[in-house]
Amino acid sequence: MKRSTDASETGGTGAAPAQRYAVRAALVLTALAGAVDAAVYLSLGRVFIANQTGNGVLLALGAVTRLHPGEEANADAVAGPAVSLLGFCLGAIAAGLLTRHAPHLWRLFVAQALLLAATAALPGPELPRIGVVAAAMGVQSVLGLRLGVRGVTTTVVTGTLASLFSRATAAPRAHGDGDGGPGAGLFGLVWVMYVAGAALGAAGALAWSFTVVSGCAAGVAAVLAALAVARARGWRRHGRSRS
């Protein structure tokens, strides 16, 4: 089975080190998405930036409410979800282009860290911040796919929850890694990480501000980016020494 995670991104040559790295990175990214999603929802106008399924529902509700006679028009109910969706799509497109010819995941880690840092630094209007942080989640979504942990996208956990119960109720021979996929325990942990991240993001937004939460998220993303760059450089040095 082909792995999406390149050995040059993991610092190891075998499947086991690559898979461990991918799983750990995916768990941290999932918590990061939960934190940012909750903070944006509470601070920037009741909009999702990682969970674009929910954001699509908000966009539809906003559009119908504006068109329905007797309902109070609220431009932000449409503008916020629309900007989030646009930013997410642009971020995902950029991430795809960055890794189009070579699976250098460190580029995506760096891009996400820069976008989150820009979100923390942006002052003033909500819509530009929504667009930039949504772009960061678009990058992360592609990064999650490139990591190659089957059933784990890092930004939406509905499918992961379905995979959890599918695994938990499967025949014993299908449990664990018998078919090359993760077990129910990992899917459950992903869901817990998302909820825990959302709780921390909400608490931070209520106690301090969205800027504080996005700044902390940028710091975590920067650490992940630094580790990814270091691993890639270490693998290249290892490859040169062997040649």
Other CB atoms within 10 A of residue 2 CB: 4
Q: Which two tokens stand for residue 75?
A: 């431009």
Q: Which two tokens stand for residue 187?
A: 């899917």
Nearest alpha carbon to residue 215 among 122, 106, 131:
122
Q: What is the DSSP letter of 25?
A: H
- For residue 49, the SS3 value is coil
Question: pTM for this one?
Answer: 0.88
- For residue 33, the SS3 value is helix
Other CB atoms within 10 A of residue 217 CB: 27
Return d(Cα 213, Cα 35) in angstroms, integer. 8
What is the chain's pLDDT, residue by residue, as a tens digit (243 residues)?
Answer: 444 454 445 444 456 888 899 999 999 999 999 999 999 999 998 999 999 999 999 999 988 888 877 666 566 789 999 999 999 999 999 999 999 887 789 999 999 999 999 999 998 789 999 999 999 999 999 999 999 998 899 998 888 888 888 888 877 654 544 555 678 899 999 999 999 999 999 999 999 999 999 999 999 999 999 999 998 887 556 555 555
Return d(Cα 160, Cα 152) in angstroms, integer. 6
Q: What's the CATH architecture for 7-242? A: Up-down Bundle (1.20)
Q: Which two tokens stand for residue 78?
A: 């449409």
Answer whether 142's CB lies under 8 Å from 96's CB.
yes
